[in-house]
A and B are shown apart, each in its own frame.
Chain A
Amino acid sequence: MQKVYARPAWCMNCHLCEVNCIIAHSRSRDLFRAYKRENLRGTARVIVEERLPLSVAVQCRHCDDPICVAGCISGAMVKDPATGIVYCQEDKCVGCWTCVAGCPYGAIRPGEKNGRPVPLKCDLCRETGEPACVAGCPNRALVWEERGAGA
């Protein structure tokens, strides 16, 4: 399947992927409103890890047999059989965080939206096309591509 791959050699630690992720998952799709009105600072679904000068963006790998899906007690977390995208049906999530304990990449964080639990994880911007982190990466340190089976 087509996934986002990080190319750490090209990452300059600008964190724009996180910002663009937050905007893409906001109601307003606007940076100012997302941060100041919707209070979404810190809710990125991609995490830029730093060991300067090294930095790299980490996000869900959309596993073939995702342990977050296997462990989900409510059936909220699913893998779309057609696209392979692993995503959470947020209205079904109860915030037990078994997915957080399961994810082998640490790519799911416990979050909250309007008083409801939300697992903060990459959904490859499944409703909009090209993932916002890739679209906004100024140095192609993130690429969205098909690398074949097992990749």
Chain B
Amino acid sequence: MNYVLIGNSVAAVNAVAGIREYDREGSITIVSAEKYYAYGRPLISYWLEGRVRDGNMPYRPEDFYTRYNVHVLLGRRAVKLDAEIREVCLDDGQKLPYDRLLIATGGHPFVPPIAGLTPDNYFTFINYDDARRLEAVAAPGREAVILGAGPTGLKAMESLVQRGVQVTLVELADRIWAPALDQEAAFLVASFLQDKDVGLYCNDTLVNVEGMAGGRLGLQLHSGREITADILVVAIGVRPNIELLEGLPAVTFNRGIVVGPDLSTGLPGVYAAGDVVAGNPPLLPHAAIQGKIAGRNMAGAQETYQPLPPYNALGFLGLHIISMGDSAAGGEEYAILKEVDPSARTYRKLVLKENRLAGALCINKIDRTGLYRRLLEEGTDVTPFRDEGFRPDFGLLSLPEEVWRQRLAE
């Protein structure tokens, strides 16, 4: 069997492991647009602030590709797919035939059209090269504006602050990371950032960029506010890299590639995993799990990917947030259980819908939050123990006896 994997990040690397569980002989080729062996993408902010060095960036040990017998083409792009004859063309003219193909191309930063924005006057923040470009300019005393106060913008903020850069976040929504944080939680985080001397403008966006003397940028916001900065980072979201499959019959898109329960795409032998898949939150655990299952299925297994509710851990400047499911949900159909201590900056909230956990949000008090995640994932009726949720000793013994006995035996 001849496997070709387009992409060399978390989904592809886990697909290799999945393939090798079933097929130790088949040939595996990875096509990597980046010139690096796989690294954990979220590590770039840790690298930029100097907490992780180059040597600790690799996602898997150095011998991973040899141990799993993988041929890697670094710095190459797949430009065309011929699904009839099962062949991928690369940007250097090379043609790779395949029996099974994985599309694990991830996403690219979405950059809206903004007057005056040119490729050399802004930064994005999703890969190693982005971090390297930023490292060259992020010197103490400089000023940066980050467009977008979601997870990517907040991690970029953290690493720039740690490098001594004065940071201002500009966010179109009415609060920080609106899809995950409700008003109260976002206010708590905003007050934390204020203490850290990070600027924040909500309900606002960038409409014009102008070059100024000394390489500085004049930034005009929608509100009419004008600010200046040395560094502009655009971090408002990612879009799936679907180009390779665009225009091919039998493939459907909903922003990303629509896949079947076995992660196949509709084209014979072609699978997809990770951020490129439709409806997938661009989250690392989900990419890893999908990659593993896609790999197994490419090698002949018949596993189903059970969509996993989104969950995320985000920490910056010492604050830790864990969110899962509809963590920002409000409204009549939900029951909200909350425990807030503004002075300690702790916040815990469980969102219930029809007596089942629909979401959870924990700030600075995150011990054992995985217990909530499992209740959410399994849709457990929490009625018998809903008053236990915030007990300091909330644990397995909070659950009905037959449940905890089963879990201990797993």
Residues of chain A at the chain B interface (Cβ within 8 Å): 5-6, 8, 47, 49-51, 54, 56, 58, 61, 63, 65, 67, 69-75, 91-92, 94-98, 100-110, 147, 151
**Cβ-closest 4 pairs across A and B:** A106-B368, A71-B285, A103-B370, A104-B374
Chain A residue at minimum C-beta to C-beta distance from B56: A92
Within B59-77, which residues are at the interface with A (CB < 8 Å)? Answer: 59-60
Q: Quick check: B56 and A105 within 8 Å, CB to CB?
A: no
List, in ascending order, chain A residues with CB within 8 A of B313's CB. Answer: 96-98, 100-101
Chain B residue at minimum C-beta to C-beta distance from A92: B56
The verdict on B51 contacting chain A, using a C-beta distance below 8 Å, is yes
Q: Quick check: A108 and B292 within 8 Å, CB to CB?
A: no
* Given the contacts A49-B397, A75-B59, A97-B322, A102 and B311 also touching, CB distance less than 8 Å: yes
Q: Quick check: A106 and B285 within 8 Å, CB to CB?
A: no
Chain A residue at minimum C-beta to C-beta distance from B408: A6
Q: How long is the Cα–Cα vector from A47 to B392 in the complex, in angstroms?
A: 13
Interface string of B299-313 (1 = CB under 8 A from A): 000000000000111
Interface string of B8-31 (1 = CB under 8 A from A): 000000100000000000000000
Minimal beta-carbon separation of A22 from chain B (angstroms): 17
Q: How long is the Cα–Cα vector from A69 to B368 in the complex, in angstroms?
A: 16
Residues of chain B at the chain A interface (Cβ within 8 Å): 14, 40-43, 46, 51-52, 56, 58-60, 284-285, 288-289, 292, 311-315, 320, 322, 324, 366-371, 373-374, 377, 393, 395-397, 404, 407-410
Q: Quick check: B395 and A104 within 8 Å, CB to CB?
A: no
Can you list 16 A-B contacts (CB < 8 A)?
A8-B408, A49-B395, A50-B397, A56-B397, A67-B370, A71-B285, A72-B40, A73-B284, A74-B46, A101-B311, A102-B373, A104-B370, A104-B374, A106-B368, A106-B370, A109-B368
Q: Quick check: A70 and B292 within 8 Å, CB to CB?
A: yes
Q: Quick check: A104 and B14 within 8 Å, CB to CB?
A: no
Q: Quick check: B40 and A73 within 8 Å, CB to CB?
A: yes
Chain A residue at minimum C-beta to C-beta distance from B155: A96
Q: Quick check: B396 and A106 within 8 Å, CB to CB?
A: yes
Q: Quick check: B410 and A47 within 8 Å, CB to CB?
A: no
Name the one of A8, A61, A74 contacting B56, with C-beta atoms under 8 angstroms. A74
Q: Quick check: B311 and A105 within 8 Å, CB to CB?
A: no
Q: Quick check: B42 and A96 within 8 Å, CB to CB?
A: yes
Q: Quick check: A94 and B51 within 8 Å, CB to CB?
A: yes
Minimal beta-carbon separation of A139 from chain B (angstroms): 16
Other 19 A-B pairs with CB < 8 A, given A72-B40, A97-B366:
A5-B408, A56-B404, A61-B407, A67-B289, A71-B288, A74-B40, A75-B40, A98-B285, A100-B313, A100-B368, A100-B369, A101-B313, A101-B366, A101-B369, A102-B311, A104-B371, A106-B369, A108-B370, A110-B366
* Given the contacts A56-B397, A96-B313, A102-B311, A70 and B285 also touching, CB distance less than 8 Å: yes
